[in-house]
Structure 1
Amino acid sequence: MIFLKLAIKSLRNRAFSTTLTVISICLSVTLLLTVERAKRAAEEGFTQTISRTDLIVGARSGPLQLILYTVFNMGNATHNISYDSYKTISQLPNVAWTIPYSLGDGHRGFRVVGTNEDFFKYYHYRGYQKVELEQGVPFDKLWDVVIGADVANKLGYKLGNRIVISHGVTKTEGVLNHDDKPFVVSGIMKPTGTPLDRAVYVSLEGMEALHLDWQDGSAPTSDKVIPKEKISKENIKVDTITAFFLGAKSRAETLRLQREINDFKSEPLLAIIPGVVLSELWQGLSYIEGVLRGISWMVVVVGFLGMLIALTTTLNERRREMAILRAVGARSFQIVGLLVFESALLTTLGVLFGVLLSYVSMAVLGPWAEREFGLYLAGAAFTKKELLYVIVTLVGGTVIGLIPALRAQRLALKDGLSIKI
């Protein structure tokens, strides 16, 4: 208690430098914890972009390429797969559900995905979360389209708006537009914080209808154009798709299904387990994690140096105080203990305020970060790694206090009561 009273009075006497020191440590801890949580959110968001899907099946290429163009809408497939092969595999006895995916077109820089109603039934992300509509209904008619949240926000689309899809995927306006076959927005998806928000979804029949009069990727001449009104959903036959997602009736069947699909006789196919590929892909990006953590620790070290400078520069002002304490019977180790205790007290206050500020900033900025960057900042309130960081910071701040404390001990022994100011 005596140590505490002396430390509080001493720190109160140097209120300005004390406040700056606590703020410095507070900001350092806040940055360290915020970066760690953002890193954890990025990893979880990356690996949980798709969940509860046992296999992704596409044309034989590479696992990385397949995961990029199906889950992240990046790149293109080398080949399509036949719709007959898809139907054959989807009807296997150990297959619970499938979601077909057909890619190839775009709309003002956003990917257009052809799929069916199973997409809204079975696609999961971030655990058990399903795709839901914020407004409207899923595509029911041939020329209906459902748009992701980012598409609606950036392009200002609302229900009932007409949109024109372009042949091929471009970052700007398409060169070859399907102007004669516009779609109507029938639904707008809720934000997910995943690549789902940055895509446009049509039915497989709608995707096929766009190219019904195209030959070898070329736009039809005026005499070969099939009017939109003469195309009906019932008369369209889907020949190929790009890939499909698959859920097994039992997780134990996944590996056997994967081998069976990879050995499919009708055409060369590739089946991958998305969770495994996503984890491997994230490990390849782990150097980013190291850079972020290194920057955070550098900031913490700067905070410690600021505290060391603050404690050291005030020693000259406190030499009489130290000498008086020695004169009234304080031993040298008690002088050291007092200054180390002050350092520990400053570090503890800085850490407590830093943890509090980190939680407040996460609560306030969490919805914005999820909406703008897809960082889902929920999860465990405090992980073992974050607790370790806090303990290391507390120990480091306390040890830093030894440097000015040992110097003060020598000065107190030297000065006695004859200090000259």
Structure 2
Amino acid sequence: MSALVGIAWRSAWNRRFTLALTLLSIALSTFLLLGVERIRTELRQNFSSSVSGTDLIVGARTGSTQLLLYSVFRIGAATNNVSWKSVQALAAHKGVDWVVPLSLGDSHRGFAVLATTPEYFEHFRYGNRQPLVLREGKPFSELFDAVVGAEVADQLGYHVGRKITLAHGSGELNLAEHADKPFTVVGVLARTGTPVDRTVHIGLNAMEAIHLDWIGGAPMPGVKIPAEQVRKFDLTPKNVTAALVGLKNRAAVFSVQRWVSTYPDEPLMAVLPGVALDELWRVVGVGENALMLMSALVALVSLAGLVSVVLAGLNERRRELAVLRAVGASLRHVLALLALEGAIVTLLGVLLGVLMAVLGIALLSPWLQSQFGLALHLSQPTLNEWALLAALLLSGWLASLLPGIRAYRLSLADGLSPRI
């Protein structure tokens, strides 16, 4: 066996330039397969980790997916609001540890505006219960302070001290701006890869302040309250869009959920974020299937290329194989030699592809995080990635058997006869 390995290695070394191209092809295929699989895995993980550490999301009675969409992903609008009295009653429940109210409806140059309390920065978690971190500045404390997400700051070039104005309603067309009540950016959040990056955060009292002289979604005719005078008014919110809830004991989640659903003063509902995220992923997970199909096509093309290269190289080796048989090598030895050679090339190509994937993730992860909000992490291979590597090794080895079978069918004289 050792002699066969030595022969296979020397034969491969004599054709090192041709085999180097084959090895590079396998390495690139491995890199693409692992890259697409890791992106697919991280996309789902980022989606699933848009909110964590929150036990319940409470809002007006609607569908669980719709409640999740507008409260976490800032997509769509609530069918109804939750009264402030109900929020206070929820916070006073014996099983509730904390409540973070959320109020939506305004925007800034296409980015959602979220009004909340300072406790949002303390209790909100994403990913593996990671807290929000400010890359510069501080949380809002004054009435007209704003904290912007990383994508808002990067796209619009905002920094601490920048003056901004908000607009009524969503969308990029700011037709109804609150221009008389500008905000000051006091903080910029570090990138999270979640909808937080695309959000402008203000205080609940600030949301009330900018709408004091508005009614029915439009300014009151002939009424204008300057920014300097809004503090004279009661800025306690009348209602909010939704609320994030943390419990003292997670075992009480279903009892609190039932209490919310049977709340007598108004129709409310509470959803478990993890369950709602899974439901939503089944709706929007078509992209995951597309990436899986892309992975399969990449594997198919790479293996077809490997077979083509190996079969094309067989014609150059007809004389070599014939000489081996002339000096006593059996057809079984020739087949084993070619199979061993293909296995070595495939193994080296896969190892090189894994190394390229590791380096690619390490080098490109900061750029992908800053540009697209996609966080790629170096971690142990998943079961799917192990399965892909095993399939590549097995397929490469099987592909190397094809030239062996063809060599089996070539006669001894065919390889030793001079070509005219």
TM-score, normalised via structure 2 length: 0.96
One-letter amino acid matched to 1:182: P
Equivalent in the alignment of 1:156: 157
Q: CA deviation at 1:417?
A: 4.1
> Aligned partners of 2:361, 2:252: CA distance in 1, in Å?
40
Q: Does the CA contact (< 8 Å) of 1:142 and 1:233 recur in 2?
A: no
- Cα distance in 1 for residues equivalent to 2:48 and 2:68: 11
Percentage identity across paired residues of the two chains: 42
Change (3 A) 1:378 1:265: same
Deviations 1:95-144 (A, max 9, x none): 00011000111111111111001101100000221112122221111111
Mapped contact 1:213–1:224 kept (Cα < 8 A): yes
Equivalent in the alignment of 1:59? 60
Residue 349 of structure 1 and its aligned partner are, at CA, apart by 1.2
Q: 1:71 to 1:233 in 2, by over 3 A?
A: farther
Match for residue 349 of structure 1? 348
The match for 1:301 is 300
Q: Is the 8 A contact 2:29 2:302 kept in 1?
A: yes
1:188 aligns with: 188
Mapped contact 2:326–2:412 kept (Cα < 8 A)? no
Q: Say whether the 8 Å CA contact 1:326–1:416 is kept in structure 2.
A: no
Q: What's 2:215 paired with?
A: 215
Contact 2:58 2:269 in 1 (8 A): yes
1:228 maps to amino acid: A
**Matched letter for residue 57 of structure 1:** V
Q: Distance in 2 between matches of 1:2 and 1:108?
A: 71
Paired letter, 1:10: S
In structure 2, the CA distance between the partners of 1:216 and 1:314, relative to structure 1 (3 Å rule), is: closer
Q: Is 1:324–2:323 an aligned residue pair?
A: yes
Contact kept in structure 2, 1:28 and 1:296, CA below 8 Å: no
Give the drift of 1:420. Answer: 4.0
Instruction: For 2:80, give the aligned amino acid.
Output: H
> Which amino acid counterpart does residue 100 of structure 2 have in structure 1?
I
**Take 1:155 and 1:247, find their aligned partners in 2: how far apart are those partners?**
34
CA distance in 1, matches of 2:115, 2:415: 86
**Pair 1:165 & 2:166 matched:** yes
CA offset digits 1:339-359 (Å, max 9, x no partner): 111111111111011111011
Deviation, 1:415, is: 3.3
**Is 1:203–2:239 an aligned residue pair?**
no
Q: What's the offset of the Cα at 1:283? A: 2.7
Task: Answer yes or no: is 1:260 the counterpart of 2:259.
Answer: yes
Which runs of structure 2 are paired with 1:358-369 in the superposition (5 Å)?
358-369=357-368
Query: Is 1:249 paired with 2:248?
Result: yes
**DSSP-derived class of the 1:100 partner:** strand
Partners of 1:164 and 1:177 within 8 A in 2: yes
**1:109 aligned residue:** 110
Paired position in structure 1 for 2:131 = 130
Q: Measure how far apart 1:220 and its partner are.
A: 2.6
Separation (CA, whole Å) in 1 of partners of 2:232 and 2:390: 64
CA contact (8 A) 2:116 2:203 kept: yes
Partners of 2:116 and 2:110 lie apart in 1 by 19
Shift of 1:380: 3.1
Any conservation in 2 of the 1:161–1:185 contact (CA below 8 Å)? yes
Say which SS state the counterpart of residue 134 (structure 1) adopts.
Answer: strand
Moved more, 78-87 or 210-219: 210-219
Question: Does the C-alpha gap of structure 1 residues 104 and 300 become closer, same or farther in structure 2, counting only changes over 3 Å?
Answer: same
Q: Does the residue aligned with 2:85 lie in a helix, a strand or coil? A: helix
Cα deviation, 1:49-89, whole Å, max 9, x if unaligned, reads 10010100111111111101111111111111100001001
Q: Note if contact 1:327-1:417 (Cα within 8 Å) is conserved in structure 2.
A: no
Is 1:139 aligned to residue 140 of structure 2? yes
> Once superposed, what is the RMSD of the aligned Cα atoms?
1.6
Correspondence for 2:382: 383
Alignment-mate amino acid for residue 66 of structure 2: Q
Q: Contact 2:191 / 2:197 at 8 angstroms: preserved in 1?
A: yes
The question of whether the paired residues in 2 share the 8 Å contact of 1:133 and 1:190 is answered with yes
Contact 1:319 1:412 in 2 (8 A): no
Which residue identity lines up with residue 258 of structure 2 in the other structure?
R
- Using structure 1 for the length normalisation, give the TM-score: 0.96
More deviation in 389-398 or 15-24? 15-24
TM-superposed deviation, 1:416? 6.7
Range moving further from structure 2, 104-113 or 302-311: 302-311
1:177 partner SS: coil
5+ residue gaps, structure 1, are none
State the alpha-carbon separation in 2 of the partners of residues 61 and 349 from structure 1: 56
* SS state at 1:171 partner: coil
Matching residue's letter, 2:408? Q
Distance 1:317 1:134, change over 3 A: closer
Give the distance between the partners of 2:86 and 2:250, measured in 1 at CA.
22
Distance of 1:133 and 1:110 partners within structure 2: 19
Matched residues in 1 for 2:232 and 2:321: separation? Answer: 91
Describe the shift of the 1:229–1:108 C-alpha distance in structure 2 as closer, same or farther (beyond 3 A).
Answer: same
Structure 2: how far apart are the matches of 1:176 and 1:229?
20
C-alpha distance in 1 between matches for 2:202 and 2:285: 36
CA contact (8 A) 1:25 1:300 kept: no
Distance between the aligned counterparts of 1:31 and 1:128, measured in 2? 31
- CA deviation vs aligned residue, 1:222-258 (integer Å, no higher than 9, x gap): x411111111177322111110000111110001111
C-alpha distance 327-105 of structure 1, shift in aligned 2 (>3 A): same
Distance 2:4 2:151 in 1: 58
Q: Is contact 1:327-1:416 (8 Å) kept?
A: no
Report if aligned partners of 2:164, 2:185 keep a CA contact under 8 Å in 1.
yes
